Amino acid sequence: MSADPWRNKIAAYADGELPAAETRVMAEHLRTCPLCTSDLLAHVQLKRAIRSAGTRYNPSLALRQRIQEEVEGRMRARTKPVRRWTWLPKLAAAAVLAGVVLMLIYGSSFYEERQTFSELADLHVATLASATPVDVISTDRHTVKPWFQGKLPFTFNLPELAGTPFTLLGGRVSYLGQAPGAQLIYQIGNHRISVFIFQSRLDRPSPSSEIPSNRLTFSIETFSANGLRYYIIGDAAAPDIQKLGDLLRTAARL
Amino acid sequence: MSEENLAAGSFDELALPLFNSLYNFARWLTHDREEAEDLVQETYSKALKGFRSFQPGTNFRAWIFRILRNTFLTSRTGLKAGMTLSLDSDEASESILPATTETPESLFLERADQQMVQQAIEELPVIFREVVLLCDVEEMSYQEIAETVSIPIGTVMSRLARARNALRVALAKKMQGV
């Protein structure tokens, strides 16, 4: 089939706006069409560039305080008349300050978190679009794991997949935030899943933090074990991603 | 607690977490710090006053962004921005345009720095700038954008396609000029 009817839907696919059935069909098509995969990569890169450039302006503390005071003032006005306790303005000021600090902390970690997951989604798409998605081709974990020796400053355990629907396709060295890590490609049905393993860093999103709603139709699972951070990302169903995450988590803790 | 107090409490919880996003969007619309601050403050005032008309269970984010956008459109800068648009801006592009493959897009996107992308976004007419920011920065769904901007979803899609194509062209030109 010509790629044109598909290419018209790439934007909606990248925006997470295709219905579930069409998303599945599109994901299947992307596996065999380098033209559409290339288009998708370009869309994802543009979206990422816009998101990064568009998150540009931060409000001043003075404006925060004015808004907060107005909201709180209106709320107080709607309650019973306030007695003029002398400690109340101090309490309000402390609450405003605490609110501002929380908003600053929450705001920065939120954008950072989105950035990391976005970068991983890009790495995943770029890998699948590549003519050589893996540098070590093997379904045997005892072949893939030793291949990383001397290439990464850490080691990790991989799960036994016998009796599971997953197949290991291979691996490659990847980078996130200038730090090297392992990228493993697994397959379930016709879906390919990337597993990224990096050393844990304080400036990476916490595994306990809420994973942002994904607009790229990818499912993401993340956890931390033995000083390593694992990210599992792919267009497979969320329960499958979670199942693979559970297998990796068990192996990581052996 | 009375129903009114409950509503006030809910407003606090719903509106304050959107403060950063509203301000960022306001700056992109106005291109001016003071105007953006006034716009955000007026938005919160209007939203507080009109909060009783907000229907619980509907989309609060689209509701408050719509207030900000409508307030902007009736401001001097907003009126000026609206007047510079051609009347057939939407009609000229009914179909969704695919990404061009003639340009090595992934290459120039990798090389384009953040300032270049910001400049390209700034140069977009406001009706295209707003949809691309709501979609890619605020991560709104097409439905939310349609509610915020008060246009049909098909128009959201065509404006997004035109905005992104315009950005691609602008970035490619800027890269050639480097």
pLDDT at site A143: 86
pLDDT in tens, A145-197: 888 888 888 889 899 888 889 999 999 998 887 788 999 999 998 888 999 99
pLDDT in tens, A51-76: 989 998 999 999 999 998 888 887 77
pLDDT in tens, B74-118: 887 777 776 555 444 554 444 333 344 445 565 566 667 888 999
For chain B, give the mean pLDDT. Answer: 82
Provide the token pair at A159: 């799960």
State whether A70 and B112 contact (CB < 8 Å): no
CATH of the domain at B9: 1.10.1740.10
> Chain A residue with minimal CA distance to B129?
A54
Residue B146 lies in a domain: no
Coil vs helix vs strand at A213: coil
Classify residue A191 as left (phi > 0), alpha (psi -120 to 50) or beta: beta
Provide the token pair at A235: 């267009």
Residues of B whose CB is below 8 A from A57: 23-24, 27-28, 36
Give the domain extent around B8: 1-83
pLDDT at site A82: 46
Number of domains in chain B: 1
Residue B141 lies in a domain: no
Residues 129-148 of A with CB under 8 A from B: none
Average pLDDT on A99-105 reads: 65
Residue B2 lies in a domain: yes
CA atoms within 13 A on the CB side of A253: 8
CA distances from A88 to A28, A68, B173 (A): 62, 15, 58
Using pLDDT thresholds of 50, 70 and 90, give the confidence band for residue B5: very low
pLDDT at site A141: 87
pLDDT in tens, B127-138: 999 999 999 999
pLDDT at A114 over 60: yes
CA distances from B172 to A38, A85, A137, B110, B112 (A): 17, 62, 37, 11, 9
ipTM of the complex: 0.84
pLDDT in tens, A196-251: 999 876 455 554 444 554 445 678 888 888 888 899 998 888 888 989 999 998 88
Query: Where would I find the beta strands (DSSP E) of chain A?
Result: 136-137, 167-176, 179-188, 191-199, 219-225, 228-234
Residue B47 lies in a domain: yes
Residues 110-129 of B with CB under 8 A from A: 110, 112, 114, 117-118, 121
Residue B62 lies in a domain: yes
Q: How many CB atoms lie within 10 A of CB B102?
A: 6
* Element of type H or E holding A151: none
Residue B12 lies in a domain: yes
Q: Which residues contact A122 (CB under 8 A, 6 or more apart)?
A: A41, A44, A45, A48
Residue B150 lies in a domain: no
Residue B151 lies in a domain: no
